[in-house]
């Protein structure tokens, strides 16, 4: 094998490992997946394969819900990447409640069939983290941004600051965040997870150039939501 090609592949593998230190199935899903496999096997032993088919279908659903594939990080230091898979449900001028300044809110709604890992939209330092308990109304509704349980990260970058907010949904009952203030994040780095349907709101400065429109389907890390001016 050509040594240059081998070296290039090794570097690429190291980059993927650095950006994705978790298996293809999210670690948060293993207890649910193992439980469903055991339940399905027990039901199959009693009622046979066809009798256990509903249980196996639920197992497949759990497997697809907790999938967590690696993502290629696009080049461009000024890009603000999507922190989640899903659909754009809001692009609106608002007041960022955590930085108390005019902003544009870009909301990504995740249904139960989307990948639910949350990834950093930028390279930056976590200045503050704010957790707020709340309700669990449908995350597709705009009022979920203010009513639901949520966890906000204020991230400082060389180009400015933004706020990325994990918002629980109708079925989601657990927001998981694995970073703390002063943590250094890389764009595309996995920093949290929300179980079973939710949304992520990104508050950017008004002068930011928006790259998406209402209804667009976006992918975490690979889709640029906006760009610093």
Instruction: Give one DSSP letter per residue of 44-110, joined into a string.
Output: HHHHHHHHTHHHHHHHHHHHHHTB----PPPS-TTEEE-SSSEEEEEEEEEEETTTTEEEEEEEEEE
175 forms beta bridges with 194
Assess if residue 40 is contained within a domain. Answer: yes
Q: Residue 138 has what pLDDT?
A: 61
Q: Give the span between the Cα atoms of 132 and 174, in whole angstroms.
A: 12
Q: What pLDDT does residue 172 have?
A: 52
Strands 124-132 and 150-157: antiparallel
Would 133 be classed as within a structural domain?
yes
82, 103, 120, 198: the active-site residue? 198
Residue 139 vs residue 37, higher pLDDT: 37
The domain tally of the chain equals 2
Q: How do residues 62-72 score in pLDDT, each as one tens digit? A: 888 888 888 88
Per the annotation, the verdict on 198 as an active-site residue is yes
Q: Per the domain annotation, does 17 fall within a domain?
A: no
Look up the pTM and report it.
0.81
Q: What percent of the chain has pLDDT over 90?
A: 59
Residue 18 in any domain: the answer is no
pLDDT of residue 155: 98
Look at residue 85 and tell me whether its pLDDT is greater than 50: yes
The CATH number of the domain where 189 resides is what? 2.70.70
Are 58 and 162 in the same domain?
A: no
pLDDT value of residue 6:
34
Lowest mean pLDDT among 20-24, 120-124, 156-160, 197-201: 20-24
- 123-172 confidence digits (pLDDT tens): 999 999 999 887 666 666 677 677 788 899 999 999 999 999 999 876 65
Confirm whether 14 is domain-assigned. no
**Residue 8 placed within a domain:** no
């Amino acid at each position: 094998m050509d040594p240059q090609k081998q070296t290039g592949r090794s570097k690429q593998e190291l980059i993927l490992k650095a950006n994705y230190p978790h298996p293809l199935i999210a670690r948060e899903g293993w207890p649910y997946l193992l439980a469903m496999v055991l339940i399905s096997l027990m039901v199959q032993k009693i009622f046979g394969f066809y009798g256990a088919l509903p249980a196996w279908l639920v197992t497949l659903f759990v497997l697809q819900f907790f999938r967590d594939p690696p993502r290629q990080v696009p080049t461009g230091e000024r890009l603000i990447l999507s922190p989640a898979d899903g659909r754009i449900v809001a692009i609106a001028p608002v007041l960022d409640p955590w930085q108390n300044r005019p902003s544009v809110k870009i909301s990504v709604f995740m249904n139960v069939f989307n990948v639910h890992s949350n990834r950093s939209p930028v390279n930056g330092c976590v200045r503050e983290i704010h957790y707020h308990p709340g309700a669990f109304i449908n995350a597709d509704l705009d009022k979920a941004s203010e009513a639901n349980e949520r966890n906000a990260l204020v991230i400082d970058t060389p180009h400015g600051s933004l706020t990325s907010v994990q918002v629980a949904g109708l079925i989601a009952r657990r927001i998981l965040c694995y970073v703390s203030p002063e943590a250094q994040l890389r764009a595309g780095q996995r920093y949290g997870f929300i179980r079973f349907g939710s949304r992520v709101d990104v508050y950017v400065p008004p002068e930011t150039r928006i790259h998406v429109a209402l209804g667009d389907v976006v992918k975490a890390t690979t889709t640029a939501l906006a760009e610093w001016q």
